[in-house]
């Protein structure tokens, strides 16, 4: 008789999922904790230096966090298919919502600190600066994805229409990377790394589908 492993009890499976979700929550909230430490405690716990411009730090930190969570969300399908790790799919929705959270903090830090919530200057900036335009457009496209991320919305829309809507993550990824590239100096390393990562993820997703 072939040796077979006994099935894992359901309670242990649930314990694993709960522990993994707690870990994802802690990691996802870490950027906020680091920001608070850097701004108010001068990096006492995270080893950072005193912040001369907290607004610039908030905008850069939240924007980068949003992009990283977006790329991680895009990586779920290749990881699930190539590593046969279907449980990774459990965390895609949570990671996508954290990407939207940090994108919203990034956008509203610009609205509040740079423009004092004045609609006229905001509209003028969006029209005149291409990097603000694509970043603002990416955030607007993220809103319907965040709103329809619940199981209830999947039932209302139906699987096909829901999947079609959530394919917006592809142009959103391109817009966010363009936003990062256009606001930095030419050939700066960090945005190029994210742009290359996005291209690799697009290639992997296309390959696993084929």
Which residues form the domain of 186? Answer: 53-209
Is 24 part of any domain? no
Beta strands in the chain (DSSP E): none
Q: Is 41 within the bounds of a domain?
A: no
- Quickly tell me which residue has 């996802």 as its tokens: 28
In a domain, 47, yes or no: no
- The predicted pLDDT at position 47 comes to 64
Helix axes 169-182, 130-147, angle to 10 degrees: 150
Looking up tokens 């701004």 gives: 39
* Residue whose pair of structure tokens reads 């997703």 in the numeric block: 205
Biggest distance spanned by C-alpha atoms of the chain: 76
User: Given this model, what pLDDT does residue 18 score?
Assistant: 82
Q: Is residue 11 part of a domain?
A: no
Q: Is residue 115 part of a domain?
A: yes
Q: Show pLDDT as tens, one digit a residue, over the chain (210 residues).
A: 445 545 545 555 567 778 888 899 999 999 999 888 888 876 666 666 656 778 888 999 999 999 999 999 999 888 887 777 777 778 888 999 999 999 999 999 999 988 888 888 889 988 889 999 999 999 999 999 999 998 889 899 888 899 899 999 999 999 999 999 988 866 678 889 999 999 999 998 888 777
Helix, strand or coil, per DSSP, at residue 83: coil
- Report how many domains make up the chain: 1
Residue 153 lies in a domain: yes
In a domain, 45, yes or no: no
Does a structural domain hold residue 196? yes
């Amino acid at each position: 008789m072939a040796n077979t492993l006994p099935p894992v009890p359901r309670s242990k499976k649930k314990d694993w999922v709960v522990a993994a979700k707690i870990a994802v929550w802690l990691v996802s909230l870490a950027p906020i904790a680091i920001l608070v430490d850097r701004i108010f405690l001068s990096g006492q716990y995270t080893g950072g230096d005193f912040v001369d411009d907290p607004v610039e730090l908030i905008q850069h930190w939240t924007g980068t966090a949003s992009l990283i969570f977006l790329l991680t969300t895009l990586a779920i399908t290749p990881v699930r298919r190539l590593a046969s790790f279907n449980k990774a799919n459990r965390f895609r929705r949570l990671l996508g919502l954290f990407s939207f959270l940090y994108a919203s903090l990034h956008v509203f830090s610009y609205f509040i600190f740079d423009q004092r919530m004045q609609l006229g200057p905001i509209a003028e900036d969006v029209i005149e600066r291409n990097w603000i335009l694509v970043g603002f457009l990416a955030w607007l496209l993220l809103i319907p994805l965040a709103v329809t991320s619940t199981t209830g919305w999947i039932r209302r829309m139906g699987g096909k229409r829901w999947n079609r809507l959530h394919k917006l993550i592809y142009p959103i990824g391109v817009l966010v990377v363009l936003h990062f590239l256009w606001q930095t100096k030419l050939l700066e390393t960090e945005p190029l790394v994210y742009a290359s990562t996005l291209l690799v993820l697009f290639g992997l997703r296309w390959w696993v589908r084929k």
